Structure 1
Amino acid sequence: MRSKFLACSAFLLAASASTAMAEETLNVLTWEGYTDPSFITQFEEESGCKVNATYVGSNDDFAPKLTAGGGVYDLIIPSIDTTKLMIDLDFVEPLDTSKIAGWDDIYPKFRALDGIQKDGEYYGMPYAWGAIAFMYRDDAFATPPTSIADLWREDLKGKISLWDDKSAIYVAARKNGDMNIYELTDEQIAKAQEALAEQKPLVRKYWATAGELVDLYKAGEVVISNTWAGYQSSLLADEGIKVTEFIPTEGAEGWMDSWMVVKGTPNKDCAYKFLNMQLSELGQCGVANVNGYSASNAAAAKSCMTPEQFAALHQDDPDYLDSLLMWAPLGDRFEVYTNAWNAVKAQ
């Protein structure tokens, strides 16, 4: 009997230890670069919290993955056009901003956005921001492209790529002259869908990840596309591939990503340690150096960036966002946009 008791006790202790260890692991649903070892390793060593990252290639990935098993994740980081959906679907919980050092140093423009708050409470912590610019290989163009329409050029057939995301509807709508891209009518969405269907035979591949687009450019299979400004171009520069980013005459979208705590996470202590790190100099310059994105905490950015980097990332000019078509929640139109894009791909 005593041996059975000891065996049972050992099993329970092992199970408890296993649970404790599991609770020290943060599972995050995130974008490439946001948990890069260059700064996450230091966080893990100092906090005792291990970070396990699952990557998304589109904001359209968050809802299906959380629906399939929300308890798998502790933190997510959707963009501002998707954060409201996460709140409305009850996937995330309100933040205790008193536990986040540097909260008051976040750009007021970002803290004021409706997409990260509800009923007087914040659900999202702004982290990084930038533009969805366009990009081309320098050696493929005698005359630099300037318009979205260049992604519909017959002479570039098989050399064009577009992000595999519902934002393709935004791109096609602007090409059609419809600038109210987050409030498109059914007719305007149908027109955008038609334009994308016309473009499809010209497309080499719809890119899903930063690495995939970089490989397409490196191989010379793609010479023009849209891009996460600052990121893929820097990766290509490291490979010796000369590319140029540009804002087309029809304008570019702006985005802002926010960390959100998944409702009911058992790892809340580590989650808040992680949020504080991401808003500190370590996390803010981490994402700027890895992804080339702008940071949301101006004070942290100024203390860890060179003056040249600070200016290049528009950290001293948050009104730069006013020149962009900042992503906005689509509300009950989310499914309409997503279905329209999926219908194009299914053709």
Structure 2
Amino acid sequence: MRKQRALLSMAALSACALAVAGCGGSSSSGGGGTSLSVPKLSAPTALGKSEGQLNLIAWAGYAEDGTNDKTVDWVTPFEKQTGCQVNVKIGNTSDEMVTLMKSGQYDAVSASGDATLRLIYGGDVAPVNTSLVPNYKTVSTFLKDKPWNSVNGQMYGIPHGWGANLLMSNSSVVSPAPTSWGAVFDANSPYKGKITAYDSPIYIADAALYLKATKPELKITNPYELDDAQFTAAVDLLTTQRGLIGEYWSDYTKEVSAFESGDSVIGTTWQVIANLITADAKVKVNAVLPQEGSTGWSDTWMVGAKAAHPNCAYQWMNWIISPKVNAQVAEWFGEAPAQTLSCKETADPDHCTTYHATDSAYAAKIAYWTTPTKNCGDSRGNVCKDYAAWTQAWTQIKG
């Protein structure tokens, strides 16, 4: 893991003040099964010549050209090989990315799961012909045709990288190491004031995931598809937890500092954060995927519906998931590569083991970030809480 990874301003799912306008829900499997329609857009059947230009919106660290570190550059080789000059706009939040894509000025975006359905149902991204992306064949199957990147069996993007939200604890203070999310939700926790949690409305799903395992009477099947009773239970749990929280985090450096100073001793984290703390050797931590499973992310490269340079966009998608390049991105960014063949290309031979890159059983324990919508994706219909409701509730929870 490279310490230079100070670029991780990443997947901080921001409080989205916008309703998911016109956005329906996805089913709990395969991305299909809803009665809602998406804008009628078609995927190309063949690629033409490179247009010589490519305008991207990307999380920091996803499109490195050597500016931040001369040894970290997979953009320049792409430009030389394809003739597509890459222009990158860093997206700081998912909400910002959605807004930028609506402008029609960008060819592709590295979207997280809280943005993808908004982009699909909003008609801002086009369906993707995966046969035109040769490297897609060897992408992990558990990332394909999922609720956050497809609708009715049609892929709307190419999986890029993924990871789980883990439970981390200070090994010297929290003993034995917990194996359940109950450790951060226990109203009588001995660690009151030193518990930390991810600062985003999407964190409501973490509470729902815990309730799914511990309160079966709520009948939660999907932590992103919550009706009024389920949503209220999750909000109530988080409201109680608020009295235990020392501080929330969205900037990974904030959590690193809090654990190293002792201000935080237990809470949700990413594997890369645990790696950084371990590398600093100032404090020993334990990071696990708890018995209830966890939430997590799977980022997707999507092509703009109004892309002026679609041929370059397709070439970029194939490039970014090629074995060597996807390995470079995954190590720099601190995540599991989507490309199965990347595990033979990582500088750290243990990278894929550390991040469980090809472990389908591990991946199956993750409830990947998916945009909450009113459509429950089942017989309940349109009675679930959408992301606007999640945002409002999160504001109230934090006070």
In the superposition, the TM-score normalised over structure 2's length comes to: 0.70
**C-alpha separation between the residues in 1 aligned to 2:357 and 2:178?**
27
8 A Cα contact 1:26 1:270, kept in partner: no
CA deviation after TM superposition for structure 1 residue 245, in Å = 0.6
Distance 1:103 1:120 in 2: 15
SS at match of 2:330: helix
Q: 1:34 to 1:211 in 2, by over 3 A?
A: farther
**Alignment map for 1:169-184 (pairs within 5 Å):** 169-176=204-211, 177-178=214-215, 179-180=220-221, 181-184=223-226
Alpha-carbon distance change, 264 to 211 in structure 1, aligned in 2, over 3 angstroms: farther
Matched, 1:298 2:340: yes
What amino acid does structure 1 have at the position aligned with 2:162? W
Distance 1:169 1:25, change over 3 A: same
More helix by share: 1
Counterparts of 1:182-221 in structure 2, within 5 Å, are 182-221=224-263
Q: 1:235 aligns with which of 255, 263, 276?
A: 276
2:16 paired residue number: none
- Quick one: structure 1 residues 273 and 214, their matched pair in 2 at CA, closer, same or farther if it must change by over 3 Å? farther
Structure 2 CA distance for aligned equivalents of residues 40 and 272 of structure 1: 22
Q: CA deviation at 1:293?
A: 1.7
Tell whether the 8 Å contact from 2:183 to 2:189 is kept in structure 1 after alignment. Answer: no
User: Structure 1: any 5+ residue segments left out of the alignment?
Assistant: 1-22
Give me the CA root mean square deviation: 2.9
Which of these two proteins has the greater Rg computed from alpha carbons? 1
Residue 92 of structure 2, aligned match among 35, 50, 56: 56
Question: CA-to-partner distance for each residue in 1:122-177, whole Å, 9 max, x for gaps?
Answer: 31111112211111222322332232232245432332211112232122234443
Q: Distance in 2 between matches of 1:56 and 1:42?
A: 21
Moved more, 132-141 or 173-182: 173-182
5+ residue gaps, structure 2, are 1-51, 375-384
SS, match of residue 112 in structure 1? coil
- Match of 1:17? none
CA pair 315-289 structure 1, distance change in 2 beyond 3 A = same
How far off its partner does 1:27 sit?
Answer: 3.6
Q: Does 1:166 align with 2:201?
A: yes
Distance 1:70 1:235, change over 3 A: farther
C-alpha distance 171-109 of structure 1, shift in aligned 2 (>3 A): closer
- State how far apart, in whole Å, the 2-side matches of 1:151 and 1:52 are: 38
> Is 2:55 the counterpart of 1:26?
yes
> How many angstroms does 1:46 deviate by?
4.4
CA distance 1:89–1:306, change in 2 (3 Å): same
Deviations 1:315-347, CA, capped at 9 Å, x for gaps: 4432322233344453323333333223313x2
Partner of 2:116: 83
Aligned length: 319
- Per the TM alignment, residue 279 of structure 1 is displaced from its structure 2 partner at its CA by 0.3
Counterpart amino acid of residue 159 in structure 1: K
